[in-house]
Structure 1
Amino acid sequence: MSVTPNPRILVLGASGLIGRFVTDDLRRRGFHVVGAARKFSASQRVSPLDLQVPILSLDASAMAGLLVAHDIGVVVNCLGVLQDAPSSDTGAVHCEFVARLLAAIARSERAVRLIHISIPGSADDDRTAFSTTKREAERLIAASGVAHAILRSGFVIAPSAYGGSAMVRALAALPFELPDKDRATPFQPVAVEDIAVTIAWLAARPLDEDATRAVNWDLMQPQPVTIAGVIERFRIALGTSRLRRIALPRMLLDVGARLGDCVSYLGWMSPLRSTALAELRRGVNGDPQAWMAATGIVPKAIDDTIGAHGASIQDKWFARLYLIKALTIASLSLFWVASGVIALLISFPATTAILTSRGWPDAIATPFAAITSMMDISIGLLIAVRRTAAFGLVAGIVVSLGYLIGCAIFTPDLWLEPLGALVKTGPAIVLMLVALSTLDNR
């Protein structure tokens, strides 16, 4: 096997929080980087070298062909899922895929270094499927004989936000406080820039160098910090450190995590799920000294990572709206379903009476009332499912406008009813526009 002095790099999971930053950063440093992901958002398609492929469905032969076709010398695996759900399987992503990837590297008959992003902590503390499968992947890599570096990153702080990092920003922006026991949890962060620098450093090392042939490093700032300290630093940046806060009961967090588990079956990846809560309470800590000594990298402290300057307006809006987005989707879904159910099962005679009193024949008024009621229920159900939410919101806006125009033509007196039901449709349309505007996750 030959050793490539300036190897081409394949980043798996190049649409994710770490993967996207690493891909762009390595390209800025002059590396030839192929970014691969199951799906890129429109804003992420910045290079013809970004490949949209069903990575997790590829067998070892197909992956080996990908490595050979692009002359890959370094593979960076940033793939990971937090929790088992209909669209994600921790065992399949963390173990089965890694086993196929190792087989692909062997089949390619090339000199390839595998850089694998993992989690810190001790195997003795692993309690979730997320952590146990991540640790099993480490064991598979260590036993493979492939040149590798396992990077156990701390709590990642990046310019963008997703999942846990978005939740921390939201907690910093809103007037809520974690329970005392959770606030004291160790939570050592790492700047995503330090992860990218480490990968670049490893990619430039000779593959046959003994010191970097098989390494396992904790990547995080050495200074101890708690989750309360991380949140407080975001509060300073967001200008919310002086807000009076309400302490959240631990039971409320448990209930929220269970609700997050439930909505995952509808396709929504809530940052607050039972695994996320368990991992948060376990904490994030480790010993970065081996990493620092080997690379000479001095990791950024949290004050430098978040920055000494205040947050931008888009940072503030995101932090404030992040949790409200979930509330908006839930309320709109319930609004449409409840509206349809009430009209169909409770006030159906009153609805048809309104139409017949204005000259509509019974043969038209009854099916019209039934169809519109079922249409409302359908819109609510469409909004509730992540894959169809955008279509449901657009349909809700169109139908609402149709109701307004239809009532203006056929029943204009309803605009003057005491409770002003039609008048309230306008703000509902605006709320659906807000929900539609915040649907993106990446």
Structure 2
Amino acid sequence: MNQRTILVLGASGLIGRFITDDLRTRGFRVVGLARRLSPAQKMTALDLELPILSLDAATLTRLLREHAVDIVVNCLGVLQDGPGSDTNAVHRDFVARLLKALSDSGRAIRLVHISIPGTAQDDRTAFATTKREAERLIAASRIPHAILRPGFVIAPSAYGGSAMLRAIAAFPLDLPTAEMATPFQPVAVEDIAATIAWLVARDIDDLSVKAVSWDLMQSEPMTMAGVVKQFRCAFGTAGWPRVAMPSFMLDLGAKIGDVASSLGWMPPMRSTAIAELRRGVTGDPSTWIAATGIAPKTLAEAVGRHPASIQDKWFARLFLIKALIIASLVAFWLVSGFIALVVSYRAAAGILSAHGFPPALVDPITIGTSLMDMGIGVLIAFRRTAAIGLVAGIVASLAYMAGAAILAPDLWIEPLGALVKTGPAIVLMLVALLMLDNR
């Protein structure tokens, strides 16, 4: 058993989770730290949940000493500013505190920092500029460090952009022609993990890796179209006819994604994501390959030479539909409540009156149920309260159906079948509830 201890910051993310598990299988003692871990990610007592971004330098120093950390791997990152996401706080301010903690720890610790490829001249987004500022802080410090700049990461799991490309591959749809031609060099997450394991095995005094910056990606040029094509081969959709999305639709989707982001969701199609996509993913991995001897996996090896499993196909097909499901349920509850309260109030109240409700209760019940419906729509719209809203919607729908069966059974056979259609709506809310998890 190798006794070196690695602290992985951001152990719940795509790269961080894979690295944590991979290093443990290699025999290292790994402390996985994240702001929030899913129940499935809490593998051992060394998987910790802490409010990372609010930890000051002194607290970080105590953490490093308490766990006798030898290597820190920083995988923290957010794509865009929004509720609970601040690119400056995550990429720059936290790194500054981490560097101070490393300096004050009294221990010889190497920092491995996950950054982004490209050059500062091409940086146009807060995501990119703050990532680059973090690199400058690290380079100016005296801390032994390795800055790793992975290309487009191919992993068994899929979040954000990697999930979106899988979804595109599963449908007869292409991004606009210009975007599909963007340089897009991939890297297998296994190669990132192998690089970190290689660095962990190096002595802290090894001058050849005291301060390095490497691009991690396959050497062969690749475009986004080539990456999507490989996924299509895995999904069995390579022969399908395809339609290219107009550019304005991509821009519109990014704006809608920004609105969803303000409600706490993390859609893959946001303005920053599209801007970074259009910049492309390129770099020069020759220095990394020469130093480590790692031969990067080809795209075919990374995606896999075997067909996608049924769970892969289901995920890819449902990924984009999830947003449509949530949006349609929000609209369903808001519009139905608004119609009953404003547009057709007399008709809605008349249904209660016609079925013998006391006149004094007709208006309060009509207004109350309409406001309740709209409230359910608002709850579903916000990510933090979506689960509560969906459960409330299911309960309310069942209550409407039961109440109608007891008090107004004739509504079950009215020509438009409004109550009959409530059943499929309940099923759709249940589907949405089961799909809420992001990781």
Q: Same fold (TM over 0.5)?
A: yes
Distance 1:168 1:79 in 2: 22
Query: Is 1:211 the equivalent of 2:199?
Result: no
1:232 maps to: 229
Residue 361, structure 1, aligned to residue 358, structure 2: yes
Q: Does the aligned pair in 2 maintain the 1:155–1:189 contact within 8 Å?
A: yes
Task: Please say if 1:288 is aligned against 2:285.
Answer: yes
Which of residues 45, 51, 55 in structure 2 aligns to 1:54? 51
Report how many aligned residue pairs link the two structures. 438
Counterpart CA distance in 2 for 1:243 and 1:410 is 53
Take 2:240 and 2:359, find their aligned partners in 1: how far apart are those partners? Answer: 59
SS at match of 2:219: coil
* Structure 1 gaps, min length 5: none
Aligned-partner Cα distance in 2 for 1:370–1:244? 50
Q: Aligned-pair distance for 1:53?
A: 0.3
1:183-241 CA-to-partner distances (Å, cap 9, x unmatched) read 11000000000000000100010001010111000000001110000001001101111
Runs of 4+ in structure 1 over 6 Å off: none
The match for 2:121 is 124
Instruction: Give the equivalent residue in structure 2 for 1:441.
Output: 438
Matched, 1:252 2:249: yes
* Counterpart secondary structure, 2:70: strand
Q: In structure 2, how many angstroms separate the alpha carbons of the residues matched to 1:54 and 1:306?
A: 34
**Per-residue deviation at 1:351?**
1.5
- Alignment of 1:261 with 2:228, yes or no, is no
Query: Which amino acid in 2 is paired with 1:312?
Result: S
Q: 1:371 aligns with which of 363, 368, 371?
A: 368
Partner residue, 1:337: 334
Mean Cα deviation higher: 310-319 or 353-362: 353-362
The answer for the alignment partner of 2:40 in structure 1 is 43
CA distance in 2, matches of 1:180, 1:371: 51
Alignment of 1:96 onto 2:93: yes
Deviation at residue 364 of structure 1 after TM alignment: 1.0
SS at match of 1:10: strand
- Aligned-pair CA distance for 1:6: 4.4
Q: How far off is 1:87 after superposition?
A: 1.3
TM-score, scaled to structure 2: 0.99
State the Cα distance separating 1:262 from its structure 2 match. Answer: 1.1
| One of 281, 297, 306 as aligned partner of 2:294 | 297
The partner residue of 1:178 within 154, 175, 179 is 175
SS at match of 2:6: strand
The Cα of 1:373 is off from its aligned counterpart by 0.5
Is 1:148–2:139 an aligned residue pair?
no
Q: Displacement, 1:73?
A: 0.6
Match in the other structure for 1:321: 318
SS of the residue corresponding to residue 72 of structure 1 reads coil
Q: How far is the alpha carbon of 1:86 from its aligned partner?
A: 2.1
Kindly report which structure 2 residues correspond to 1:45-84, keeping only aligned pairs within 5 A, or say none.
45-84=42-81
**Residue 317 (structure 1) shift:** 0.2
Measure the CA separation in 1 of the matches of 2:89 and 2:271: 19
Backbone CA RMSD of aligned residues? 0.8
Unaligned runs of 5+ in 2: none
Query: Is 1:113 aligned with 2:104?
Result: no
- Does structure 2 retain, via aligned residues, the 8 Å contact 1:6–1:204? no
1:38-65 deviation digits (Å, cap 9, x = unpaired): 0001111111100100011000000000
1:86 and 2:83 matched:
yes
Q: Deviations over 1:272-316 (max 9, x none)?
A: 001100000000010101000000000000000001100000000
Residue 346 of structure 1: which of 343, 358, 364 is its match? 343
